[in-house]
Amino acid sequence: MNSSTRNIYTIAKRELTGYFASPVAYVFIVIFLLLSGFFTFMMGNYFQRDEASLASFLIWHPWLYMFLVPAAGMRLWSEERRSKTIELLFTMPISTTSVIAGKFIAAWVFLGISLALTFPIVVTTMYLGNPDGGVMISGYLGSFLVAGTYLAIASMTSALTRNQVVSFITSVVVCLLLILAGWPPVTRLVLKWGAGSELVDFVAAFSVMTHFDSLQRGVVDIRDIVYFLTVMAFALFTTGVILKSHRAG
C-alpha cells in the first residue's frame, strides 16, 4: 500500500468512525429505512403488483436520494470551512486529492450501509415468490451508483459555501435537474412542444433516470456504469478545483 492509498484509507476510516459517533447518522438511517418502507409498500403498491420483484422499492430511490444524500453530504466541506479546520487539512502532508477521496469514500460507504439495511425487503420478496437474483443485484448496484453520484454533487456544492443550508438546496436542485432531464413525463412534454427526438435523446442521456432504469430492470450496460463514474469523477475533480482556489486565496 503506497502512501497515497494509506492516506485515503486513514481519512476514510476516521470519517466513517465519525459518522457513527454521532446520533445524526442513526437518525439518517432510520429515516431512510422508514421512507423506503413507506414508498415501497404504501406508494409503490408492493403487494398489489402480484410480482416477486423490487421494482416498487427501487423506483423511488432517485427521488429519495435527491433529498437524503444532499442532507448527508452538505457538511462534507461546509463544516470544515465554517470551523476553519480546512486550513489545518491544507497544512498536513496529505494531498487535496487524498482528502477528497477519503471523505467521499467514507460517506459513500455510509450510504451503502444504509442501503444494505433494507435487506428485509429482499427477504420478503424472496419469501413471497421466486425473484430473479441477478435483477435484484443489478438494481441495488444502480441504487448505490445513484447515491454515489448525488454524493459527489453534494461534495462539490459543499465546497462552494460555508452555509450547509445553501449547500443542501444547491445539491437538491442539481440532482433534480439530472432526474428531470430523462424523466419520461418530461421528455414526452418536451416532444409535444416541438423539440426534435434527437435533441431529447441527447439531453436524456445525461439523466440519472435513463441509466438507472436500465440497471433496475437487470440490464447491466457498461455505458451506464461509465456514466455514473464519469459524473462522480467530474464532480470530485471540480471539488478539488474549488478547494484549491480557496487554498490559493
Average confidence (pLDDT) per 10 residues, the chain, 249 residues: 81 89 90 92 78 86 94 81 67 82 94 95 88 91 96 93 89 92 73 69 81 90 94 94 73
- Given a contact cutoff of 8 angstroms between Cβ atoms, the answer to whether 74 and 167 are in contact is yes
Determine phi and psi for 37, rounding to 5 degrees.
-65, -40
The pLDDT of residue 54: 86
Which residue range(s) make up the domain with 22?
A: 3-248
Handedness of CA 167, 230, 147, 213 (dihedral sign): positive
The pLDDT of residue 127: 87
Look at the chain and count its residues: 249
The pLDDT of residue 195: 66
The pLDDT of residue 189: 72
Is the pTM for the entire model greater than 0.85? yes
For residue 18, give Cα distances in angstroms to 2, 14, 131, 204: 24, 6, 37, 38
The pLDDT of residue 170: 94
The pLDDT of residue 53: 83
The pLDDT of residue 193: 67
For residue 101 the three cell numbers come to: 477521496
Domain count for the chain, please give it. 1
Q: Whole-angstrom Cα distance, residue 159 to residue 146?
A: 20
Q: Whole-angstrom Cα distance, residue 225 to residue 145?
A: 8
